[in-house]
Structure 1
Amino acid sequence: MAKGRNKKLTTDPNARPEQREQTEKLKKVTENWTPLQKTPPSYMKGTLAATVWQRLIPILQETGVVKQADKATVECLCSAIQLYREAFENVQKNGIQREVWTTPILPTGETLDKEFTRYQKNPAVTTMDSAMKQIKTFSSDLGLTPASRASLMASVDSQDDDTPSLAEILNAKSGDF
Structure 2
Amino acid sequence: MADYKTPLQLTAPRYMKGYTRTMWESLVPLLISRGTTNVSKSVVETYCQTYGISRQAYEDIAEHGMTDESTGKKNPSVTTYENAVKNLRGLASDLGLTPSSQVQLQKLIIDSSDEHDGKSFSELAQDIKF
Verify same fold: TM over 0.5: yes
Deviation string, structure 1 residues 98-148 (Cα, Å, up to 9, x no partner): 2345xxxxxxxxxxxxxxxxx200000001101101111111111111110
Letter aligned with residue 6 of structure 2? T
Identity across matched positions, percent:
37
Letter aligned with residue 47 of structure 1? G
Letter aligned with residue 88 of structure 2? I
Would you say 1:122 and 2:75 are equivalent positions?
yes
5 Å matches for 1:63-78? 63-64=34-35, 66-78=36-48
Distance 2:28 2:84 in 1: 20
Aligned to 2:118: none
Would you say 1:82 and 2:35 are equivalent positions?
no
Q: Alignment length, in residue pairs? A: 111
Specify which structure has the bigger relative contact order, considering alpha-carbon pairs within 8 angstroms and separated by 6 or more residues: 1
Alpha-carbon offset, residue 157 of structure 1: 4.9
Over alpha carbons, which structure has the higher Rg? 1
- TM-score, scaled to structure 2: 0.75
Unaligned runs of 5+ in 1: 1-31, 102-118, 160-177
Runs of 4+ in 1 over 6 A off after TM superposition: none
- Partner SS state of residue 120, structure 1: coil
RMSD of the TM alignment (CA)? 2.2
Aligned to 1:39: 11
- TM-score, scaled to structure 1: 0.57
Aligned to 2:31: 60
Distance 2:11 2:65 in 1: 35
Higher helix share: 2
Higher strand share: 1
Letter aligned with residue 59 of structure 1? L
Letter aligned with residue 76 of structure 1? T
Distance 2:20 2:46 in 1: 9
